[in-house]
Amino acid sequence: MLIQNCLLIDGAEIFEKKKDIRILDGKIFQVEDCLTPENGEEIIDAGGAVVTPGFVEGNCQLGITSQVHRFEEADANDARPVMPEMRAYDALNFADEGFEMAVSGGVTCAVTGPGNENLIGGTCAAVKTAGDNLEKRIVVPEIAYRFVFTNAPRKKFGAKGKSPETRMASAAMIREALFQAQEYHRKEKAGEKQEYRMELDALARVFDGMPVQMVAMKANDMEAAVRIGEEFGLNYILVMAYDALTVCEDLQRKDFKFIIGPLYGLSFSAEAAGKDLALGARMEKAGIHPAIATGHPSISEDLIRMQLALMVDRGLGREEAIKGVTAYPAKYYGLDFRIGTLEPGKDADLVIWNGDPISYSGSVGTMLIDGKKVFP
């Protein structure tokens, strides 16, 4: 397949330059100023339209919690505060209307997982948002763990007179689970005999570099997450992260991996007081490069462009906005060898846009996933 006359934003070095793209066996094969069609090759004329990588959603519950049927199809939270053995992969519902919303928003890959009511809610899955073969849509069945430092677990379990009721208990219970998993991991590596425990065997993978989403909004919760992440040498990502700049200033560091959002919409709690569409612009000015997420269904996945447009209106650079939903989330999850940019060798996941992708009126014209047309 040859796509001609693209105004290409590749998520890497090319920003709004005229290019042609050749796709072979579901991968980007060539990106050049002008490519000559080969005999029998399918040709798509982009007609000067903007072409970007498919967006990568870094924090959502696609296929886990329905946008419409939130009570009947709510599989994101469970009954115990610490449940590392759970896998979002086992709950995925590919019939969830959220996947259609994702496609209409330009999202081709999503990291979807547990909700915010468990301290350790299990693992997230990385999935393509469309395609005929459901198994091939699974990019990584278990891409990252989800640890939650917000008020949600304290509210849920504290109301029943159970731990955690306080921030101290939240941190202590996460730390205790990690201590147990660390010892299990040590014995496993040393070949020592021990009783098999599914929850510890699962959680022990964080000591081999498996990414961990650390979900926190306020600075003190984020700093507790950082403290635990550093103590155990975890490969952690700070998610939601409304007080990101305060944390960087407090800890005199800027090298954190952040996934900010959702930023669009009302704030219903004191811990979300730092929620601000100008956060991306302020982070860019400080030299920090966050990924940007919707937290679907907090914001419907089809509104990802709306959130970007509002952030750009408040000062975020256009190129940085695109990278925030392509290159950066792919890199933070270790998926940048496959997705996130339109470079030779990577999956041919791309969008040919009607109008400006960072605007209130732009829309998906054509979407390819793994080199196959999935929209329209």
DSSP-assigned letters across all residues of 128-191: ES--S-TGGGEEEEEEEEEEE-SHHHHHHHHTTT-S-SSHHHHHHHHHHHHHHHHHHHHHHHHT
Q: Identify the domain containing residue 119 by its residue range.
A: 55-339
User: Does 323 map to a domain?
Assistant: yes
Amino acid at 307: Q
Alpha helices in the chain, H assignment, sequence order: 98-105, 151-158, 167-190, 198-203, 219-231, 244-251, 279-285, 304-313, 318-324, 327-332
**Mind listing the pLDDT tens digit for each residue in 142-154?**
999 999 999 999 9
pLDDT of 267 above 90: no
Q: What one-letter code names the amino acid at 163? A: S
User: Could you tell me if residue 49 is inside a domain?
Assistant: no
Asked whether residue 161 is assigned to any structural domain, the reply reads yes
- pLDDT at position 73 is 57
Give the mean model confidence (pLDDT) for residues 240-247.
98
Residue 22 lies in a domain: no
pLDDT in tens, 193-228: 999 999 999 999 999 999 999 999 999 999 999 999
Q: What is the arithmetic mean of pLDDT over 137-165?
A: 93
CA distances from 360 to 9, 69, 308 (A): 19, 27, 9
Question: For residue 28, what are its two tokens?
Answer: 């980007």
Residue 134 lies in a domain: yes
**Which among 171, 206, 211 is positioned nearest to 185, based on CA atoms?**
206
Question: Is pTM beyond 0.85 here?
Answer: yes
> At 159, is the pLDDT very low, low, confident or very high (cuts 50, 70, 90)?
confident
Q: Residue 260 maps to which CATH number?
A: 3.20.20.140
- Mean pLDDT, all residues of the chain: 95
Q: Could you give the C-alpha distances from 211 to 130, 206, 267, 292, 335, in angstroms and in order?
A: 24, 7, 28, 17, 11
Determine the pLDDT at residue 351: 99
Whole-number pLDDT of residue 156: 87
List the beta bridge partners of residue 214. Answer: 147, 238
pLDDT tens-digit readout, 14-61 = 999 999 999 999 999 999 999 999 999 999 999 999 999 999 999 999
Kindly give, in sequence order, each residue whose CB lies less than 8 Å from that of residue 360, ignoring residues fewer than 6 positions away: 306, 309
Dist. CA 91–CA 67, nearest whole Å: 15
How many domains would you assign to the chain?
1
Amino acid in position 32: E
CA–CA distances in Å: residue 100 to residues 63, 136, 294 = 11, 18, 15
- 74: confidence class by pLDDT, cuts 50, 70, 90: low
Give alpha helix (H) positions in 39-150: 98-105
Q: Which helix (H) or strand (E) holds 109?
A: strand 107-112
In a domain, 298, yes or no: yes
**27 in any annotated domain:** no
Cβ atoms of 8 and 31 closer than 8 Å: yes
Q: Quick one: average pLDDT of 279-306? A: 96
Determine, yes or no, domain membership for 368: no
Pick the closest to residue 31 from 48, 54, 51, 55 (CA basis): 51
